[in-house]
Amino acid sequence: AWLDKQSSLTWIICNLMWYGACMSIIFTSINTLAVGDLSKQQSGTGSTVLSIVQQVGIGFGIAVSSIILNLYRHFFSANDGLQQAFSYTFLTSSLFVIALVWSLMKLHKNDGDHLRKMP
């Protein structure tokens, strides 16, 4: 949503790198907490179920985003309407990320401590 036709390549690359780094940290920690309590025998099945749930979630997110995009398209002029609709759709979808981070902040400080290997 912060990018437009005049955005420099450096600005685009910095935004993409920041996005990738944040998503890597979030997904690594969530996935570790999700399958960390499973036994070695269950870890393969748990990983498969986690992957399926993530894929369904991605499909659901795309469907919801397309509905939001279509709703925003009706609020803007025909000239720059699509660009603005995409920008507002990305900003709206960031509310879901904020909700995720808010729910992760409710984790206790010692959640996942048993996953650390003690030397």
Among the listed residues 21, 98, 96, 20, the one whose alpha carbon sits nearest the alpha carbon of residue 61: 96
Q: What is the pLDDT of residues 24-38, one digit of tens each?
A: 988 888 888 888 888
Distances (CA, A) of 33 to 20, 28, 44: 20, 9, 15
Higher pLDDT, 56 or 2: 56
What are the start-end ranges of the H helices in 1-119?
Answer: 9-35, 40-73, 81-104
Q: What is the pLDDT of residues 40-86, one digit of tens each?
A: 899 889 989 999 999 999 999 999 999 999 999 888 877 778 888 88
Distance between CA atoms of residues 92 and 1, nearest Å: 10
Residue-level pLDDT at 111:
76
